[in-house]
Chain A
Amino acid sequence: MSAALSPPEDRGGPAQPLLSVKGLLKHFPVKKGLLGGVSAKVRAVDGIDFEVLKGETLGVVGESGCGKSTTARLLLSLIDPTAGEIVFDGERVGSRALSLKAFRRQCQMVFQDSYSSLNPRLTIEASVAFAPQVHGLPRREAVARARDLLARVGLDPRRFAERYPHELSGGQRQRVNIARALALQPRLIILDEAVSALDKSIEAQVLNLLMDLKEEFGLTYIFISHDLNVVRFISDRVMVMYLGKVAEIGRSDDVFSRAQHPYTAALLSSMPSLDPDNRTEVAPLAGDPPNPIDPPPGCRFHTRCPLAEPVCSAKEPPLAVTDGSHRAACLAVQPGSGHSLAPPAAGSEMAA
């Protein structure tokens, strides 16, 4: 195997985050009027910071317009950020030490639409073998690797390698997309709603596959989904986004059992109960998520928040530590914020 495609090595050791994002910002201009004058901008991602630790699965949840898919595309430099930087294992992406092409080898993505993400005119074997060839692996070796990977994702290459995407089912196509993402032996895979379009019985198969592959190849995942059950199941840590901002981030158990942000709490109680004797009686939130073109001032969530107070529309809450590694951007849990529910300020350690 050519030296150019040996698995990338760990540089900073296990304690250094694999990915660290600082002040990531993306505004899309909205053209209005005949002359194309820019009069508004969509604040798709509006200054977010987070880290992805080596070997973990970071779940990202949020509703449409929260910026989770834009974040995924920004991380892969498929679109250019308005501001902010991305550091991969200690090196800034795009710097001399880590070129964009070298970074892309180590970070791959699986998209939601399994059909649209495969070239309809290529056999699935050719689709999987494409990326290694781009990085200089001879065709014969690339195809051998593709067939090996197809086998690993459960598609017998003798039966499937020569087929075209339209000859496969949705679940099978998503397995091909996973194989393609693995073809460069990346360290980080971004799964953007990768199981959302699949039927429930197939979704479970693919989730099991993803967990096994993670163990086998020592992968790190960013798992983006709107399905809280799936995120809870697969993630070590969870990040909740609302209108381009991080609302809450922390260990999965903490976020799901002790949600600090009222939006997280509302999302959780919006999940159907699956208990015929305990149906949901009151919707936790009214109305739709607001438009990211013109987000409300202060806390973005105050227009729908049951705990909102005047201070919430005046002051933008920082993403602050609430306990341990658990952080939330809500004034109601931040000491000295001026919110009536805020815990007392100054040094007094939180009791219970």
Chain B
Amino acid sequence: MTQPAIEIRNLRVTFAGVVRAVDGVDLTLAPGEVVALIGESGSGKSVTLRSLMRLHPPRRSKVEGTMTVAGQDVLAMSQRALADYRGATVAMIFQEPLLALDPVYTVGEQIVEVIRRHEKASKAEARARALELFQKVRIPSPERRLDAYPHEMSGGMRQRAMIALALACRPKVLLADEPTTALDATVQIQILLLLRDLQRELGLSIIFVTHDLGAAVEVADRIAVMYAGRIVEEGTARDLIRGPRHPYTIGLLKSRAEGALAKGSRLDAIPGSPPDLAHLPPGCPFAPRCPLAIDPCRADRPPPIPVGPGHTARCIRTDVSPTLLSPASRSDAAPA
């Protein structure tokens, strides 16, 4: 067994002392593996990702647990070690490249600067590498685009430029925070395919945070579904799409418009809304919205229960949950 690329154990992140944004996340990534973290706003997916870069302000947030990336303990790093770690071991791409790129420097200058900060390279060498990166992310006429400012590029080009910047110091791990959400459909698929190709070519490990199951399936080997700060179901993309076991995952799949039986029929919506993270219920946080919830669900937090090879669900009712998938059992009996 080789050393995992990322190992997160019992990660807890609390904001302002009360908001438990992440509440015990365990996640392991093998080298070269792509895991998608799926969840709705407030599920803790982005918070988990930012914790891996230690981006949360230490004064207003508390991060507990252990995170090991490429053998390095992330929480124990000094500021100096952290500066080396960010960029060279782990790099991150964001939803909005305009906010992540510096508007007053050309994209090429920014890449050159990042390379020279981490490595001993002459300006010419760094520039040559930047050009190579631009070719790698398939930016047309890369030579000219290196000298463009971020605002002079179109949305898709900016996203490619940000990926090039992230890859500048040959990181082992790429963290992607909703990188395709703001893009148009025809551009989104280009970026998804690019990420998939780069991953294969460079052997990257990627955590891909998204709220879009479709985008996750296009790039991820495994999918982890988050709800109220925890991973409620985890498995290979195939297992999760074909045989979901957590009622929340099942609900997400069934409420999708393309899954509707016929035009004009009602969608199988999950009733209610996500819980307030400052006042989490004692039991399973999904219990108030769950059609299968029984008393023990409301009493204790369910542990991860194995339901197949490499497939776990934090649900004590996985024995009956597949019945939710059949169209006969519409969730009309949902608790009010």
- A interface with B by C-beta (< 8 Å): 63-64, 169-172, 199-205, 207-208, 211, 226-230, 232-234, 252-253, 266-267, 270-277, 279-289, 291
With A201-B251, A277-B238, A280-B218 in contact, do A272 and B189 touch (Cβ < 8 Å)? Answer: yes
With A63-B185, A277-B238, A283-B190 in contact, do A201 and B217 touch (Cβ < 8 Å)? Answer: no
* B187 near A288: Cβ-Cβ < 8 Å: yes
Closest 9 CB pairs of A and B: A272-B214, A204-B269, A204-B255, A199-B40, A63-B184, A233-B257, A288-B154, A201-B270, A204-B267
* A226 near B184: Cβ-Cβ < 8 Å: yes
- B211 → A minimal CB distance (Å): 7
Binding site of B, secondary structure by majority: helix, strand, loop or mixed? helix
The answer, among A271, A277, A282, A291, for a CB contact under 8 Å with B185, is A271
With A202-B273, A230-B257, A276-B217 in contact, do A270 and B185 touch (Cβ < 8 Å)? Answer: yes
- B262 → A minimal CB distance (Å): 10
- A243 → B minimal CB distance (Å): 12
* A279 near B184: Cβ-Cβ < 8 Å: no
With A229-B257, A229-B258, A232-B258 in contact, do A171 and B192 touch (Cβ < 8 Å)? Answer: no
* B267 near A270: Cβ-Cβ < 8 Å: no
Size of the chain B interface, CB-CB below 8 angstroms: 46
- B223 → A minimal CB distance (Å): 9
Q: Does B156 contact A (CB under 8 A)?
A: yes
Can you show 16 pairs from A to B with CB atoms below 8 A apart? A64-B155, A199-B211, A201-B40, A202-B273, A205-B269, A207-B257, A207-B267, A208-B267, A211-B266, A233-B263, A252-B263, A266-B186, A276-B242, A280-B193, A281-B193, A285-B190
> Cβ of A281: which chain B residues have Cβ within 8 Å of it?
193
Q: Does B41 contact A (CB under 8 A)?
A: yes
Q: A205-B270, A253-B263, A274-B256 are in contact. List 15 more A-B contacts (CB 8 A).
A: A63-B185, A169-B273, A199-B40, A199-B274, A202-B40, A204-B255, A229-B258, A232-B258, A233-B257, A252-B263, A270-B188, A275-B217, A275-B241, A285-B186, A287-B140
- A212 → B minimal CB distance (Å): 8
Q: Does B100 contact A (CB under 8 A)?
A: no
Q: Cα distance A279–B218 when bound, in Å?
A: 6
Q: Cα distance A228–B266 when bound, in Å?
A: 17
> Cβ of B184: which chain A residues have Cβ within 8 Å of it?
63-64, 226, 288-289
